[in-house]
Structures are given as structure tokens and as C-alpha cells.
Amino acid sequence: MKLIGILSLSALLVFVFAMAYGSSGLDSEESELEYLQNPFAADRPEWDPYGPGHDSGYAGRAEWDPYSPQSRDSPQLISADPFAPDLGLSLGDEVLSPNQLYLQSSGLLVTSGQVSLGAPYTLWLYVANWGIFNLYDRGSRVLSSGFISPGWYRLDRYAETLESHLYQFNASGWSNGVEVAVNPAGYPTSYGLVGRVIDDYGNGISGARVRISGAEGGVFTTVTNALGYYGMDVPSGIYSVTAEAEGFSITTSTARVWTGTVSVAGVLVGYSSGGAFYPAGSDQNEYGWLEGKVVDKVGSGIPGAKVRIDGLFSASTDADGGYWISLSPGWHSITADASGYKFSPTSVSIRPGQGSKLDLRGTKVAVLGSGIYS
């Protein structure tokens, strides 16, 4: 009887120990489940309508959900050399790790910076060794491409939501992190969906009637303000956006909205019935141009001001404050520099064979020893 009692007590102790061992997370299977990231749950924002605690499940996930492995706009790595003569980029920050990650900012490769809401931006990656490649944004995997060979790669992104990013990749070792902050860029960010309607010179079209149509139903309308911006709160979903304004034929665009953040629709461009004007001698197939005036707050031209493009080169204004610059297609960062004036940087999109108009307005500031005050 004593032996049976001892055996029963031993069995009880083994059972208790096993229960404690399993509940502490030391069991190998439980440990694996705990530490393997669930792509449908880990690090998901609270506002995500398809996050934990919701009943949508995998089968009901929307195609536009950025956390879905079936996302139709997954970023693509492109083999490219940032130091090729046609790019002329140079290192702005030193990275000590073998795997290197940078943000392209004007002509420099940096490890932190800002981009404007609704603007494209480029990441540059140097992979030091063969390995399985994964790119993460604040711990969430946004790209996986299997085995990758050593070399330079570029990754083009688009700031479609007002948020900050922290990128890092792993390929036989981790890279450094790159912080990318997204600034409002003039959009009315008190709304969930924002956008802008502009003419073919880049000026905002005021009073345009914007129509926002949901893929799952629902149509919403609003009107642009004096600068061509609009904003509206709409449910999470994917939308087509159109606009109407007298005297303009306006392009269409799309938008993807997530409740709890600010999403931007693609810019709508209105073309007047007169069509585009091409100056004599311009290459309509390869280049566009930017023209306008640098003026003070009352609209008077500032002669001799410098209009700076992408922080790389500049052009001087004429006696009336006017300027004209031939540019390659794409987005460019524009600012001005004139003694006694302060200018805010902006950006403009250049299209092949077409002109954009941009006036830069300066505010007087105090210049030490000049007697000029704001």
C-alpha cells in the first residue's frame, strides 16, 4: 500500500510538472506557435478592419488589403546601380553593416528623410551575400523574393497614407533601418480620404465637383477648395475618383482607404479644350518644362532669384521674376532662393512634351545688417 501511495504521488507530481511546463510556454510546439509571426495578425494596427478580433477571416480579405499575400501591387525589386552616370547619386550617410539600405533624397542616399503625401519615393538596397530576402516595415513583412544574389537593387514606393515607415531587410543578415516620414503636403488631413484636382500647369482647380464611387457600392460627392484640394470621410474600401469642372476634361484616378488613417487619391488632371502648347525646339517625346515667376507676397516679380531643382542645379529669374526650365519627366522638388526672402519647398510632376506652371511666392525675412524685417 505504501508503494502504491508513493507511485500515485509520483504520478501526480509528473502531471503537475507537465501542466506547469506546458503553460509556461516551454513546450516546443507551443513555443513555435508563439514565436512564429502570423502574417494575418502580428503587428497589425488596431484600425485595420481585417485585423484580429474581426470575423472576416482569410476568405473575405479585400484584394487591396496591404497585409494580404495576394496584394496585387506588391513592390518589385529592380537590379540597378545608384552610381550609374545617368543617376549620379552619392552617399549622404555612412552605413557600417554589410547589407545597406538607403532612401533617395534629391541626389543623396540617406538613412532617414521625409516624403510628401501622394508622392513616389525610392529605396536603394545593397545585398552583400546570397540569401533569402525579406523586407519589413515596422516589423511587418512587405516583400519576400526568395533567394537573391549580391548587388544593388532599387525599390519604388508611393506615399499613399499619412504615416511613418521604418524599413529594414534581411538577406543572410540584417540591414540598417531607414526611417521615412510622410508629411501632409498641403492636403486637408482631418479627413480619411484626400486628393487634389489640378490643371495641366499644376495649378489647383477650385469648385470642381468630385465623385467618389466605391467598388462595393456607395457614391460620395464633394467640391474642391480654392487650391483644388478636397477631403471626405468614407468607409474602408477601394474607390474610383472622377471630377467635373467647366472648361476642363479631367482624368480619373483610384484610391484605397483604411479607417483610422489619411489616404490620398491619385491627382486628377484637367486639360482645357485648347490642348497643350509646345515651345519651338522642345523635344516632345523626352522632356517637359517648368515655367512661372518668383514673386513677393503682393505678386511683384523678384529678379535674380535662384530656382533650385532637386537640390542639384538652379536657374535664375529674369528682370520680371520669370523662369523657364527644361526637365526630365517625373516628380521634382522645387524651391527658390533670394536674399531677404523665405520660400517653402514644393514638388511638381513633369510630363513628356508638356509644360507645368509654378509660381513661387516668398515672404520677407530679417537679414542681419540689412534693415529688412518680416
Quote the mean pLDDT of the chain: 76
H/E run at residue 23: helix 2-23
Look at the alpha carbons of 96, 101, 105, 106 in this order and tell me if their dihedral is positive or negative. positive
Judge contact between 256 and 68, C-beta under 8 A.
no
- CA–CA separation, 297 and 250 (whole Å): 31
- CA–CA separation, 222 and 207 (whole Å): 9
60 within a domain of the structure (yes/no)? no
Q: Domain range holding 241? A: 193-272
297 within a domain of the structure (yes/no)? yes
| Coil, helix or strand at residue 5 | helix
The domain tally of the chain equals 4
Clarify whether residues 87 and 167 are in a common domain. Answer: yes
Clarify whether residues 252 and 219 are in a common domain. Answer: yes
Judge contact between 334 and 358, C-beta under 8 A.
yes
Clarify whether residues 88 and 161 are in a common domain. Answer: yes
Chosen domain end from 183, 204, 238 = 183
What are phi and psi for residue 151, nearest 5 degrees?
140, -175
Clarify whether residues 300 and 268 are in a common domain. Answer: no
188 within a domain of the structure (yes/no)? no
Clarify whether residues 256 and 298 are in a common domain. Answer: no
Q: Which residues of the chain have pLDDT under 50?
A: 1-4, 6-7, 9, 12-72, 274-284, 366-374
Name 341's Cβ contacts closer than 8 Å, sequence gap at least 6.
Answer: 296, 302, 305, 362, 363, 364, 365
pLDDT of residue 312: 61
17 within a domain of the structure (yes/no)? yes
11 within a domain of the structure (yes/no)? yes
356 within a domain of the structure (yes/no)? yes
Clarify whether residues 123 and 175 are in a common domain. Answer: yes
Name 19's Cβ contacts closer than 8 Å, sequence gap at least 6.
Answer: none
